[in-house]
Structure 1
């Protein structure tokens, strides 16, 4: 069994899921994969089942009853991984916006170079985003500026969704008290990792907008992040239950 698990949430990713699984499993580090599917009606689950047969023991799937949110999908995946002894867990999108070739860089930043959290960062070395509308680039970039201002974290890409965790981080954070389900989930996980004084590094990546399928981003998800950051900061100041 591998010591590293790549967790991929899906909803209607039939155009991408088989190819992303093949690409991850072709890498030399021996990554395992867990797909968390939220009842996709487009055949995503059947495509994953075919890959489970093709790669026995390396591809796994958990099927949920509906669209329950990105954050809850990752929490489900983290608990699944912890119960099976994985030492490193990586969040990754199914749509190739995260380049599978960057997975080893995140993994080895934690395994070999002492990081507790390694972030695939779009902004640590400039603005490395391809094929996004300018409005979305600006929204994402200034969201990270806003997060830095409110929280005091030095991260350049606080909203990134391409992240490797060392096991001890997820054991120390109370996963049952993670509050947010959408865009703010990524900020909350980074802030609580920072609050616990774990070592966080940013690994520069190039983020490429999806070519196939439909984005799940919407204004309500972004709104959750705007107000959620203030809640997180206040919770850390007053040591609310979620920070214990």
Structure 2
């Protein structure tokens, strides 16, 4: 059953894990301190280090924690899609993307939920925890990663005609309406590309996006899941989407969710 967080929102945090046994208790502790009544779905990809078993033991004593096990390392994007569907089926009003490694500050989650709680026409349906807007920052990140992130976001803005500063960010809050309006079965993007894909789907549905500044910190335990393949996938897909959207505009039709799903 869903619960109500301190901001009065009925919200679920989807937490994908792969070898995060050291980080999981730490991030859940911080999360529940920031939003005591929020619910969490841990989606574990068969972690060899026992993260899934640890999550089960924590769920056995805390009804706010739920666990879904997968048989292998199937990727971040598909884990979130599973979590989105799980949350929609159980009636949550907000579904949150958050990494388990401590890089996303759960202390900012109430502010992010507040940013999408308005029922006014045109109110945003997606809040992005942004590193690159005024007030945002990164800590303990090597210069190479900063250049990669800034460069990737700049390329996405130019290729897709976006105004957002951190379209690749993975700390997000979606409203139920935003997710319910998508065909989740058509989403197969991964990594950075998944975040861009989801942003386009929200915008192309005529919904608003707001960026909330956060302090992003490099993980202290475990290894980063970033790979060259993820970066290449993002560059190729963003390029294809950018070309396709320009062609659609020249032909006098507006790119929309159905077009995005065709990629």
Asked if these proteins are the same fold (TM beyond 0.5), I'd say yes
**Structure 1 residue corresponding to 2:218, chosen from 187, 209, 219:** 209
Secondary structure of residue in 2 paired with 1:119: strand
Secondary structure of residue in 1 paired with 2:115: helix
Q: After TM superposition, give the deviation of residue 153 of structure 1 in Å.
A: 1.1
Would the aligned equivalents of 1:13 and 1:94 in 2 still touch at CA under 8 Å?
A: yes
Would the aligned equivalents of 1:6 and 1:32 in 2 still touch at CA under 8 Å?
A: yes
Provide the TM-score with structure 2 as the length reference.
0.88
| Pair 129,241 (structure 1): closer, same or farther in 2 beyond 3 Å | closer
Q: Does 1:63 align with 2:69?
A: yes
**Structure 2 residue corresponding to 1:173, chosen from 152, 176, 182:** 182
Counterpart in the other structure of 1:225: 234
Q: After TM superposition, give the deviation of residue 71 of structure 1 in Å.
A: 0.5
Q: Does 1:145 align with 2:154?
A: yes
Bigger Cα displacement from structure 2, 205-214 vs 125-134: 125-134
**Structure 2 residue corresponding to 1:30, chosen from 37, 56, 73:** 37
Secondary structure of residue in 2 paired with 1:155: coil
Counterpart in the other structure of 1:107: 113
Provide the TM-score with structure 1 as the length reference.
0.94
Matches within 5 A, 1:117-156: 117-125=126-134, 128-156=137-165
Q: May I ask how many residue pairs the two structures share in their alignment?
A: 243
Partners in 2 of 1:147 and 1:183 — Cα distance?
10
Partners in 1 of 2:260 and 2:228 — Cα distance?
29
Partners in 1 of 2:45 and 2:188 — Cα distance?
19
Q: After TM superposition, give the deviation of residue 126 of structure 1 in Å.
A: 6.6
Q: After TM superposition, give the deviation of residue 146 of structure 1 in Å.
A: 0.5
Secondary structure of residue in 2 paired with 1:120: strand
- 1:143-188 superposed Cα distances (whole Å, 9 cap, x missing partner): 1010000111100001000000001111112111113122200111
Secondary structure of residue in 2 paired with 1:21: helix
User: Aligned Cα RMSD in Å?
Assistant: 1.8
Task: Extract unaligned runs of 5+ from structure 2.
Answer: 4-9, 249-254
Counterpart in the other structure of 1:92: 98
| Pair 43,201 (structure 1): closer, same or farther in 2 beyond 3 Å | same
Partners in 2 of 1:241 and 1:123 — Cα distance?
26
Secondary structure of residue in 2 paired with 1:110: coil
Partners in 1 of 2:240 and 2:79 — Cα distance?
22
Structure showing greater radius of gyration is 2
Q: After TM superposition, give the deviation of residue 76 of structure 1 in Å.
A: 0.4
Partners in 2 of 1:195 and 1:76 — Cα distance?
22
**Structure 2 residue corresponding to 1:50, chosen from 27, 49, 57:** 57
